[in-house]
Chains A and B, each alone.
Chain A
Amino acid sequence: MTFSIPSNPLPRYLLQIADDQLVMGHRNSEWTGLGPILEEDIAFSSIAQDQVGHSLAFYEILHQTYGLDNPDQTAFNRPENGMLSSWLVEQTIGDYAFSLVRHWCYDQAVALRYESLAQIQDSNLQALAIKLRGEVKYHTFHAQTWMKSLLQGSEESRLRMLSALKEVWPLALGMFEAWPGETDLMREPGSQGHPWYPGEKNLQDLWQTRALESLASWGVEVEALGLQRMEPVLGGRQGYHSEHLAPLLEEMTAVFRLDPQAEW
C-alpha cells in the first residue's frame, strides 16, 4: 500500500476536498439507526450518502484527468499518512450536539469551497461544482434550522450546543490549514479571468465572519464564548491525524480488503 500525494496543486486540493467528504460521509453514516428522531436519522444518512457521492465524483476526476488510481483504490487502499482530510471530520460522532455543530461548521465551509470552485476555468470541474453546490444547499439549510432551534430552545439544549461549539471550533478552524502549493493555486485565473481560489486564510476569514454573524443572530454571546481566540487543530492536510482516523479506516476498508480487485 503505497501512495504519493499529488505534487500538482489542483489535484492535491481536489484530493483534500474528496477525503474530507469521504471521511465526513462515513462518520455521518454512523447515525443511521441512532438518530434522536426518525427524521434526523434519515437526514444524517442522506447527507452521508451525498458526501460519499461527492467524494466519488472528485476521485473519478482525479483518476480520469490526473492519473490517480481508480476511485475504489484511491478511497480504500491508502495509508493513513496519505489521507489529507482534516481532523474535524475524523472525530467520532460524539453526542448529537457535537455532530450537529460539526455538520453546520463543515457544510458552511464546503459551500464556500464549491462557490469558489464554480469559478474555475476547467468546464468539467465548474459544472460539477455548480451541481454539488445545489446539493449542499440542503445540508446547510438542514444544519441552520437545527442550530437555530436548539440554540433558542430550552436551557439544556442551549448549554449543550454552546459546549459543542467550544469543542468543535478549534477543529473546524483546522479545515483551513495551509498546504503546499496553495499559493500557486491562488494565482490560477478562473473563468472570469481573476483567480478563483482565494486561499485558506481568506476562506477561513469568510467562513468565520459568516458563522459568527449567524451565531449572534441566534442569541449567542460570541465574545464571551471566546471562539475568536481559539487556535486551530492542524495536521490533517499534511497527512498527520488524530487517534480516530486509523480505526475509522480499518472499519471503512474492511470489506474492500477482503478482495481488493473485486468488481462491485
Chain B
Amino acid sequence: MTTPATNTDVDRSARVAGDNRRKILEATMKRFQYQGDALIEVLHKAQELYGFLSPELLSEVAQRLRLPPSRVYGVATFYHFFSLAPQGEHTCTICLGTACYVRGASLLLHELEALSGVKAGHTSADGRFSLLTARCLGACGIAPAAVLDGEVIGHADRSDLTARIRALLGHEE
C-alpha cells in the first residue's frame, strides 16, 4: 500500500520542513497493516515524532486507520501520556507517587509553581517552560524524584532544583 497524496496541514508542514516524520509515521501504520487495534501504538509514534497530537494529526491517523475521529480523539484524551498541546521548550516533571509524596514532593511542586508562575500541568504563556506531574516514575528508591528535560534527578532537593530551573530559564533570557 502506498501513501495517497493528501492535502492536510500535517503534510504541508512536513513538506515545508523537508522532514520525513510523515513517512516514519506511515511506515509504523503500515507495519500494523493499518489496523485499528494499533491506534495506541500509532499515537505513541506520532507524539514521539511531532511532540504533541494536533487536531490535524489526529484526523490524519483516523483516516489512515479507517476509524471514526471520535474514537481517535476519545483514546487520545483518555490516556495521560498523550498531549494535545505543545509542550514548553523546557519541561520539569515532578513525581507525585506515594514514596515521593511522603518525602515532600508536593512541597517541591508548590515551590516550583511559585517560582515559575506556571500551574502544574500547564505551560508558561511564552512557551518556555512546562511544569508537569507524574503518577509514579518507579524511581521510589531515590524519592523524591523529578525529571528535568529528560534527566532523572533523584533525592530532588528543593533549593538545588529551583536553582537549576532558574539557571535554565534565566540563562537564555
Tell whether A pairs with B.
Answer: no
